[in-house]
Structure 1
Amino acid sequence: MPQLNPTPWFLVLLFSWMVLLVIIPPKVMHHHFTGDPTHHSAKEQTQTPWNWPWH
């Protein structure tokens, strides 16, 4: 049964892990998100209570 021969599958496993752990993380870490919350002003929002009658 050739599918039980681990030699080609082990290389596929090693190359796929190499791609996932070496090549992809730097590409993801260099991505800049446009919605960075640190650039917003620190102005505190005023909250007003609701004046609705509850019938």
Structure 2
Amino acid sequence: MPQLNPLKWFNMFTYSWLIFGSIIPMKIKQITWPSLPESKKTQKPKATPWSWPWA
């Protein structure tokens, strides 16, 4: 019975993880984003003091 032969399944497991660990990360690194995110402004807007009518 082929289910009892662990060598065949271990080889398949090893080869599949070699593919996942070597080829797929290289393909993911090649993806280019259409636009880079812009940096946020470092200056905060000045707030004007609120004039309370009862103060």
Pairwise TM-score range, normalised by the shorter structure: 0.5 to 0.7
Task: Name stretches of at least 5 consecutive residues in structure 2 with no aligned partner.
Answer: 42-55
Match of 1:16 in 2: 16
Q: Any residues of structure 2 matched to 1:24-43 within 5 Å, and which?
A: 24-38=24-38
Same amino acid, percent of matched pairs: 37
State the 1:15 CA deviation: 0.5
SS at match of 2:23: helix
- Residue 2 of structure 1 deviates from its aligned partner by 2.5
Tell me the SS of whatever aligns to 1:23: helix
Distance in structure 2 (CA, Å) of the matches to 1:16 and 1:10:
10
Cα drift, residue 23 of structure 1: 0.7
4+ aligned runs moved over 2 Å, structure 1: none
More helix by share: 1
User: Based on CA coordinates, which of the two structures has the bigger radius of gyration?
Assistant: 2
Q: TM-score, normalised by structure 1?
A: 0.60
Tell me the TM-score normalized by structure 2.
0.60
Aligned length: 41
Amino acid at match of 1:20: F
RMSD: 2.0
